[in-house]
Structure 1
Amino acid sequence: MRYLLLITFLFLVYNVSAQQPISITWAAKHSAKPLDGRLLLLLSNNNRTEPRFQIADGPQTQLAFGIDVENWKAGESKIITPAAFGYPIQSLAQVPHGEYYVQALLHRYETFHRNDGHTVKLPMDRGEGQQWNQAPGNLYSKPVKIRIDARLKNIIRIELTEAIPPVKEPEDTKYIKHIKIQSKLLTAFWGRPMYLGAHILLPEGWDTHPDVKYPLAIFHGHFPDDFDGFRTIPPDSTLKPDYIERFKLSGYNKIVQQEAYNFYKQWTGPHFPRVIAIEIQHANPYYDDSYAVNSANLGPYGDAITYELIPEIEKRFRGIGEGWARFMYGGSTGGWEVLAAQVFYPDQYNGCYAACPDPIDFRAYTVVDLYKDKNAYFLQSDFKKTPRPGSRNYLGHVSATLQEINYRELVLGTKSRSGQQFDIWEAVYSPVATDGYPKPIWDKRTGAIDSTVAAYWKEHYDLSYIMKRDWAKIGSKLKGKVHIYCGDMDNYYLNNAVYLTEEMLKALDNPTYDGEVDYGDRAEHCWNGDHTQPNYISRLRYHQMFIPKWAEEMKKRAPANADINSWRY
């Protein structure tokens, strides 16, 4: 009897052999045609918000399981079985018995017939910046409370009755304008109309000085809903204070609004340089931006931005329209983008300020050396399996491993289609595989690194290596233009690649690089070189930091006959 009770107990607690069937359908009202996409089942043990908003890398994440669906017809059932890959628990059969709030969502895919001959199915951005849980047109169910218990034989039925509504386009104001153009280069690559956009911040006096032309300040980064960090009215006094765990700070939303209002007062004040500042919208079928380079999988975004979008902005809004009068700044993804654009288009830009850039040396691809390591998820060892960390705080406390981060991505989308960080790096940097999707840098389940893909990445996108390799050709064009900043406790270990790049830059000669590399003591992600303010403030001051800095610095590199005064104040 004792052994029978033990077996029963183990079955109830660790049941891995059976699971209630979960059947999902969608309503015919949503589409007359069958649908393709990633079908996600989401479980949460709380109802603080919908399950679709509780899937994260950190320890507070809830549960997600995903399967690919093609030609899915209205009314047809799709069954989520224990074979569906899950995060952070890999199988439904391993979910502890109990009550959960359940929700299902279909992240819809579109079919693209690219000009390289490949046909692929991907989630095109629909104005939301590639957010799977907010993408207009995605179908989802209302959360319901259910009991997960393998002893129960009832079928759990879920219907996708809701559709996420379209995103409202921002409106023009006195200072902020918006532009959207169809790119000939990208349209040709993707085989359907493709667009680039930008939010444009006009300088004070732009409307009253119609003969003045202005330099262009290009802020690169993630998909902007509107021009970030600019607010013409004081903070909302009725705003309920929020709490930011990262900074251990209450009322951060009010701080953000105050900083944005302070910037407006500086921007319109008497001593701020009069430039046109822009934030580019270049969301695509893989991510909320393109990384601003040409890519085998994404197409010629670097050329489209540099030779189509930027000249059109300068034409419409009276930009000077020459390389010496353009500069770039940004953090994180934007930090990588500005350095890459400066390296690949050295004559078109006159300086870059790269804060906390994504890995700029693939010997430190976060904590992985892509050229020497065999596995991305675990340290090499004969007898020990030590996970590599993926994120930390300023004290070094780890909140997620590289394996966990990548498993979350794998649930959200196979074939680099999650719309998340490691998948977009793969989509931008990799060659095209035989199936038309990016060739994986490593096996998403095991972490085994493909050295042939790493070699391709090195020659095409390892910025530190490329600068050193091509310095004889581009060094004179980059002299004094490269500025890099990073916190030495960056949450994603991005400082590791900056150290290697700094070492390389300092060894260059004929010419010397004459730039700047700086680190913030115990500063986390998005530190931008400001030693006077805490990280949670400095990360909100990119415009204030870099526009005045460039306005002074460019005097050294402007052509002898350039007008560097009429636009200044």
Structure 2
Amino acid sequence: MRHAALLCSLLVSSFAFAAPVKHAAGPRIEVTVTPTAAGSAPLTGRILVAISKAATGEPRNQIDESYESQQVFGMDVTGAAPGTPIVLDDASAYGYPIRHLADLPAGEYTVQAVFNRYEEFHLANGKTVLLPPDKGEGQHWNTKPGNPMSKPVKLTFAKNGAVTITADAMIPEPPAPAPDTKYIRHVRIRSELLSKFWGREMFVSAIVLLPEGFDSHPDAHYPTVVYQDHFHPNFSAIGWRETPPPSDLQGREAVRAKWQYAFYQAWTNGTLPHVLIVEPQHANPYYDDSYAVNSASIGPYGDAITQELIPAVEKQFRGIGQGWARATYGGSTGGWEALASQVFYPEFYNGTWSFCPDPVSFHAYQGADLYTDTNAYTRTGPFETIDIPSDRRGDSHITAQMAQVNHYELALGSHGRSGEQYDIWQAVFSPQGADGLPAPVYDKDTGAIDKEVVKYWHDHYDLDAILMRDWTTLGPKLEGKLHIAVGDSDTYYLNNAVYLLEADLKSTRNPHSDATFDFGPRKPHCYTGALPEWDESQGADMNQRVLPLMTRHMLETAPKDADTKSWVY
């Protein structure tokens, strides 16, 4: 990885230079990244030091948003010379769950440092931003190949004085994706749209599941079903297993393996319709996924997927390539993408099955209401201030607060560069700030909401608001196409936004929306709809339930001259 000198003065001010400084009394951590791990180029990015009480495992893999997380401290760095100590102290390091280094209890811990390297991106609008490029791992600081790291070591922390860490190793390359098979193929294309936006070569890819009989029916052309989800190196998300599960599997692994193999059997024995299933892959400098829409800060991923990637797949694998013969589905992030893709490209797709979608109304931004709240973390009454929750269990036991999760992200990266959930929403939904990075929708430390940025979110990405605003033109194009399911005890409170959307769509006229909604009683994240009567297991494979619904709708709405027979064999 190559690093050039920092050009943008606005970004310079946000980084802590690793130059010799006089440190006040108090605890500090000195990390030396060796030339062996980093090469000779200056280091620009974020130094992260994970501190763990766990008896086993690597601390870098034990940091998360929950109250069970181990400790991490992070600090921005630019232009540090390999071999020169990088010093984190109480003033410069941002910590999670403990905010200040001085508050870390004295004692012995297992410690590990990782340097998440940033690169310059020269955007088409003339701005230069520093971001961590995806390296094929799906945008994760702790597994990004080439990032320098230290081996886990036992260190004793005191209230004053320094601990020293040597980062002389490097995160290795991830395992190679599985090779192409009879059924599974991999497609990767250069995106002209994204390369222009980012000022460097950018690619999008897809994992494609070919139907049974693809080779023996060379004259057949197939509908396209787009499965929306996070980054996956292999076809694991949909669930695919070509051999029976071993008898020694137990619990959830056994159930999952059973579903995967059942899907393979249904796919290959003629039970399921013959379609192309396409799983787009679009990890980017902010996250493992772009949310499949055009964005001021991330670029035109919506157009790249619909105008470049999907047509390329359909051309290569004999897709019908017409709107009536496309559908989309997914859950969580993929659920939002599936709904947004249908809304923003209403004639490109002929139906969406959206499961437990991310917030479809910013009145219910997990626990916060961005329109009426003044702070995303707390609500204040005449005499008391309460914390706003973010995560819960199915029994409503709260596991994380809005402030807690956002402070976790702030420890991992400033200016929206954590690679985590709230930061990607901000990156997708916000306009660019003066520095070329996403405009903050709220102060990441305090939670104070910026209503001007919220207005931009409302006008461009609040799916409920957009449907209501544009129903006169969108409504006729979406009849029969909207199907949404969510558990009414969703882990991230996502059901609340779906309830708002349902109420608004029920109020529509000319046409009156025929969108379907399924709220799973006491079901957490990610509920994918009620089980059909024929299912006797503890949960039918999602594909076996939705694929027949999709193709039935396609056949019922196909133009008179459409190819409705070549793929039915």
TM interval, shorter chain, is: over 0.9
Query: What is the correspondence of 1:478-497 to structure 2 with a 5 Å cutoff?
Result: 478-497=478-497
Residue 339 of structure 1 aligns to a residue whose secondary structure is helix
The reply to whether residue 55 of structure 1 matches residue 63 of structure 2 is yes
CA spacing shift, 1:413–1:510, aligned 2, 3 Å: same
The reply to whether residue 230 of structure 1 matches residue 237 of structure 2 is no
1:164 to 156, 165, 171: 171
The reply to whether residue 110 of structure 1 matches residue 129 of structure 2 is no
1:135 to 129, 132, 144: 144
Following superposition, the deviation at residue 258 of structure 1 comes to: 2.0
1:272 aligns to what?
272
Residue 379 of structure 2 aligns to a residue whose secondary structure is coil
Residue 492 of structure 1 aligns to a residue whose secondary structure is coil
Following superposition, the deviation at residue 98 of structure 1 comes to: 1.4
Partners of 2:445 and 2:427 in 1: CA distance: 17
CA spacing shift, 1:176–1:537, aligned 2, 3 Å: farther
1:5 aligns to what?
none
Following superposition, the deviation at residue 542 of structure 1 comes to: 2.8
1:28 aligns to what?
35
Partners of 2:270 and 2:195 in 1: CA distance: 43
Residue 255 of structure 1 aligns to a residue whose secondary structure is helix
2:204 to 158, 183, 196: 196
Which digits, 9 at most, give the CA deviation of each residue in 1:96-127, with x for residues without a partner? 11110011111111110000111001111111
Following superposition, the deviation at residue 235 of structure 1 comes to: 1.9
2:309 aligns to what?
309
Query: What is the correspondence of 1:273-352 to structure 2 with a 5 Å cutoff?
Result: 273-352=273-352
Partners of 1:59 and 1:457 in 2: CA distance: 30
**Does the aligned pair in 2 maintain the 1:361–1:500 contact within 8 Å?**
yes
Give aligned-pair identity as a percent: 49
1:72 aligns to what?
80
**Does the aligned pair in 2 maintain the 1:275–1:568 contact within 8 Å?**
no
2:565 aligns to what?
565
Following superposition, the deviation at residue 505 of structure 1 comes to: 0.7
Amino acid aligned to 1:159: T
Query: What is the correspondence of 1:198-217 to structure 2 with a 5 Å cutoff?
Result: 198-217=206-225
**Does the aligned pair in 2 maintain the 1:18–1:93 contact within 8 Å?**
no
1:6 aligns to what?
none
The range that moved more, 399-408 or 556-565, is 556-565
Partners of 1:358 and 1:537 in 2: CA distance: 25
Query: Any gaps of 5 or more consecutive residues in structure 1?
Result: 1-16, 242-250
Residue 563 of structure 2 aligns to a residue whose secondary structure is coil
**Does the aligned pair in 2 maintain the 1:483–1:515 contact within 8 Å?**
yes
**Does the aligned pair in 2 maintain the 1:520–1:531 contact within 8 Å?**
no
The reply to whether residue 98 of structure 1 matches residue 117 of structure 2 is no
Partners of 2:291 and 2:117 in 1: CA distance: 23
Amino acid aligned to 1:389: P
Partners of 1:121 and 1:565 in 2: CA distance: 52
Partners of 2:124 and 2:281 in 1: CA distance: 23
Residue 519 of structure 2 aligns to a residue whose secondary structure is strand
**Does the aligned pair in 2 maintain the 1:374–1:380 contact within 8 Å?**
no
Partners of 2:246 and 2:62 in 1: CA distance: 27
Amino acid aligned to 1:174: K
Following superposition, the deviation at residue 564 of structure 1 comes to: 1.9
| Structure-2-length-normalised TM-score | 0.92
1:366 aligns to what?
366
Following superposition, the deviation at residue 532 of structure 1 comes to: 5.7
Following superposition, the deviation at residue 544 of structure 1 comes to: 2.0
2:159 aligns to what?
150
Partners of 1:537 and 1:59 in 2: CA distance: 30
Residue 457 of structure 2 aligns to a residue whose secondary structure is helix
Partners of 2:366 and 2:565 in 1: CA distance: 43
Following superposition, the deviation at residue 380 of structure 1 comes to: 2.5
Which digits, 9 at most, give the CA deviation of each residue in 1:284-337, with x for residues without a partner? 000101000000000100001000000000000000011110100000001111
Residue 476 of structure 2 aligns to a residue whose secondary structure is helix
Amino acid aligned to 1:138: N
Partners of 1:162 and 1:382 in 2: CA distance: 54
Following superposition, the deviation at residue 19 of structure 1 comes to: 3.3
Partners of 2:556 and 2:479 in 1: CA distance: 11
**Does the aligned pair in 1 maintain the 2:28–2:90 contact within 8 Å?**
no
The reply to whether residue 184 of structure 1 matches residue 218 of structure 2 is no
| Structure-1-length-normalised TM-score | 0.92
User: How many residues end up aligned between the 2 structures?
Assistant: 539
